[in-house]
Structure 1
Amino acid sequence: MSEAETSVPRVRRGRRAVLIGAAVAVVGAVAVVGTLGLGGGEGRAPDAPPRAGSLVPVTRATLTERTTVDGTLGFGAEFSLPVKATGTVTWLPGRGTRVERGGTLLRVDDRPVVLMYGSLPMYRDLGMNAEKEEEEEDGREEQGVSERGGKERAPEPAGAPAPRELRGADVRQFEANLSALGYSGFTVDERFTEGTAAAVERWQKSLGLEQTGTVGVGDVVYAAGRVRIGRAGGRPGSAVGENTLAYSGTARKVVVDASAADAAWAVRGAAVTVELPDGKAVKGEVASVGKEASAPEGGGGERAAGSGATVPVTITVRDQKALGRLESGPVTVEYVGREARDVLSVPVSALVALAEGGHGLETADGRFVAVRTGLFADGDVEVGGPAVHEGMKVRIPE
């Protein structure tokens, strides 16, 4: 292999694959051939010995500039579980445990805190006359008496008004979950009816709880979907708090700290390729791009372009099975930069530097023709000019 060929670098992790700098080195190396061997573009004398080197055709192709950056495979950011229950933690799941709808996230005072799906947080008790009961209880607590302290509630006096239906989007959200768990006898709407209360009692019985028909504000935690238990900020025996337990999604994803000065590729929906530590490549897609840049460690607050500031880019992998059993680790992300479609191209090593300046190609009969160069990618270069056409043979000098 010639010096020109071996000087063409392959795409390396964390570096751009444009090969422009390398191509200049190649051109410089073969410039001696172009200048000394043929006198700056003049034809060879008829009795000159044939020049060594292989012939390759000028081809029409699409050149793609590919760039690789480092990334980290994992489950994404962890968030604190918004537990509203009060009391003592009596059980916590192990890190990495996956919890689905209806599953127990932890136990507080030996009562399960159950996962449900939804975007609206649990902010009040759900039940018949729940708001009225809370108002009455608040009044009794001011007098030093609390039903939640263990005393039985007095029966409603004769002629008392019928229970009032609780209404709201949070009712619909809870009923939708109850229905998804297989409970029926109610309509999924914004009304908490007696049918809903009866279904809640059956659900409470399945959990080993007292069948009250009312869902306490601390009984349920909502998340967008299945969760994976993360770090624990507490332990059994400690008081429950907002940092007692963290969670993340269950889908593995890749996070790249992309250069803020060169993150034009990071567009939501853009396709990328993720190379795993074992060399296997899987398809990925840009899901989100951070809006705040982070200064490099020890950057001293530099703000100039190219100072090393980065933005987080999250990449999802639709085919989770393709990731195998790997849950975390370093990966390489390859993305497409510029692209030149349907252009004439030759190997970079075919370029020579002409004595009069510029780049050229040596034809099969020993002539030199000037060319314009375009995109460099994957060892090839885009070429053009009036004397260049598809199929013509050019020499790669040895």
Structure 2
Amino acid sequence: MSVTQISVKDGEKIRRPRRGPGGRVAAIVVAIAVAAGVGIVVTDPFDASAKDTSVTGTAPTGLAQVSRGTLSARTLENGKLGYAGDYQVVNKASGTVTKLPATGQVVGQGKVLYRVDGKPVILLSGAVPVYRDLSWGMRGAEVRQLNAALVALRYATKDEIDPASDYFSWQTYYALRKLQDVVGLEETGDLPLGQAVFVPAEQIRVTKVNAVRGALAAAGSVVLHASSTARQVTVALNANQQSDIEVGDKVTISLPTGKTTPGMVSSVGKVATTEEDSTTVEVRIRPSRPRDTGTLDQAPVQVSIVTDTVKDVLSVPVNALLALAGGGYAVEVVEAGGAHRLIPVKTGLFDDSAGMVEVTGDGLAVDQSIVVPAS
């Protein structure tokens, strides 16, 4: 059995592995040593003939236990908390702007968004721009979204109007008359160009008003900008990390209030943006409990994104790892009778938030006591 005598100088201590960028252990070779002139006799832990490795020393230490459970790897990023969507409301009506919403005002589908010559311009949900008058007998994508909006607003049932239909039927005509009556328009049953604006959201939050009350409403001009009312966190992620993040990854959002709330990655950008020597892609995160996030807009937050998970594995505190002179790592186990021995281990996934690392090694078992630096 080979034995190596290691002598140390005053003040030297056992060195634990440093962790490099990305939460991984840096690849370094470290000699094991203890304080104040005490030597360590080390049996090569990777020698097949070696059964135990005894360790003695006076460096202050504590004890932890080998655990079994689930670990998650995370990446910590800075983000901005706000509202999803950025919509431009384009005017199609002619006349004078007589009423506008206020910045921050929330307007729902079927409500009056602004007025031209005193007449309401209605907000409806839809992604297709309307470029013509809509009336009985017409077909098209704009008709389909009008039908869907009328059903969503309960001016017709699904039995009366198929929300997926692109045909302007008599049922569409009668449902539209009901809407016009509610908002104070003449009940024509037709939808003239400019009487409604379509935005791909059921509710919008006005973020900027471009038009001026009393000015002419130029056709094709942007009246206002808006977002949806859905809460969202955006992260400018380094483009090199794009492959590490996937839609559906779980997230913990640290709010400006000091509280945390869960979320999930809803989209990962595919187009990189370069700015000030930094190339990033946009990652969007949907909070699981939107009410927890309050109403702040463009508020700085931190997000911890779970990028990998392992279940039912043995783990130890990261600072329990000892980097061996011959390479690799070990943990120092304390037996029931008080004897100490080193067990060589292989590391797996690192859980940064928990300060734990997945380990495997012969002789390693759950609930074993292991040595860690004193806190």
Greater mean deviation of Cα atoms: 249-258 or 263-272: 263-272
Structure 1 pair 265–280 and aligned structure 2 pair: CA distance change class (3 A):
farther
Contact persistence 2:254–2:302 (CA under 8 A): yes
Which AA in structure 2 matches 1:37?
G
The residue aligned with 2:34 is: 33
Could you tell me the percent identity over the aligned residues?
A: 36
The residue aligned with 1:244 is: 223
Which AA in structure 1 matches 2:114?
L
Residue 321 of structure 1 aligns to a residue whose secondary structure is helix
Matches within 5 A, 1:180-195: 180-183=152-155, 187-188=160-161, 191-192=167-168
The residue aligned with 1:304 is: none
Cα deviation code 1:267-326 (max 9, x no counterpart): 2222212121112222212122222111132x2xxxxxxxx3100111112422222343
Which of 306, 311, 328 aligns to 1:358? It is 328
2:290 paired with 1:288: no
Q: Displacement, 1:6?
A: 11
Contact persistence 1:350–1:396 (CA under 8 A): yes
Q: Displacement, 1:116?
A: 1.4
Which AA in structure 2 matches 1:69?
E
Structure 1 pair 68–184 and aligned structure 2 pair: CA distance change class (3 A):
closer
Contact persistence 2:16–2:321 (CA under 8 A): no
The residue aligned with 1:321 is: 291
The residue aligned with 1:346 is: 316
2:149 paired with 1:177: yes
Residue 94 of structure 2 aligns to a residue whose secondary structure is coil
**How far apart, in 2, do the equivalents of 1:289 and 1:180 lie?**
30
2:232 paired with 1:253: yes
Which is bigger in relative contact order (C-alpha 8 A, separation at least 6)? 1
Structure 1 pair 355–293 and aligned structure 2 pair: CA distance change class (3 A):
closer
Contact persistence 1:252–1:317 (CA under 8 A): yes
Which AA in structure 2 matches 1:118?
G
The residue aligned with 1:221 is: 197
Q: Displacement, 1:108?
A: 1.7
The residue aligned with 1:86 is: 94
Which of 110, 113, 116 aligns to 1:102? It is 110
Q: Displacement, 1:77?
A: 4.0
Matched positions, count: 341
**How far apart, in 1, do the equivalents of 2:171 and 2:348 lie?**
72
Which consecutive unaligned segments of at least 5 residues does structure 1 have? 129-164, 300-307
Q: Which has the larger radius of gyration?
A: 1
**How far apart, in 2, do the equivalents of 1:49 and 1:374 lie?**
28
**How far apart, in 2, do the equivalents of 1:311 and 1:292 lie?**
6
Matches within 5 A, 1:1-398: 16=22, 18-21=23-26, 28=30, 31-33=32-34, 37-41=39-43, 53-127=61-135, 165-183=137-155, 187-188=160-161, 191-192=167-168, 196-197=172-173, 200-224=176-200, 225-240=202-217, 241-297=220-276, 299=277, 308-364=278-334, 365-377=339-351, 378-396=354-372, 398=374
RMSD: 3.6
Structure 1 pair 123–383 and aligned structure 2 pair: CA distance change class (3 A):
same
Structure 1 pair 353–40 and aligned structure 2 pair: CA distance change class (3 A):
farther
Which AA in structure 2 matches 1:33?
V
**How far apart, in 2, do the equivalents of 1:379 and 1:195 lie?**
63
Which AA in structure 1 matches 2:344?
A
Residue 264 of structure 1 aligns to a residue whose secondary structure is helix
**How far apart, in 2, do the equivalents of 1:223 and 1:245 lie?**
12
Q: Displacement, 1:239?
A: 3.0
Residue 262 of structure 1 aligns to a residue whose secondary structure is helix
**How far apart, in 1, do the equivalents of 2:156 and 2:340 lie?**
86
Contact persistence 2:42–2:54 (CA under 8 A): no
Contact persistence 1:348–1:379 (CA under 8 A): yes
Greater mean deviation of Cα atoms: 78-87 or 209-218: 209-218
The TM-score normalised by the length of structure 1 is: 0.73
Which consecutive unaligned segments of at least 5 residues does structure 2 have? 1-12, 45-52
Contact persistence 2:98–2:115 (CA under 8 A): yes
Contact persistence 2:343–2:362 (CA under 8 A): no
The residue aligned with 2:47 is: none
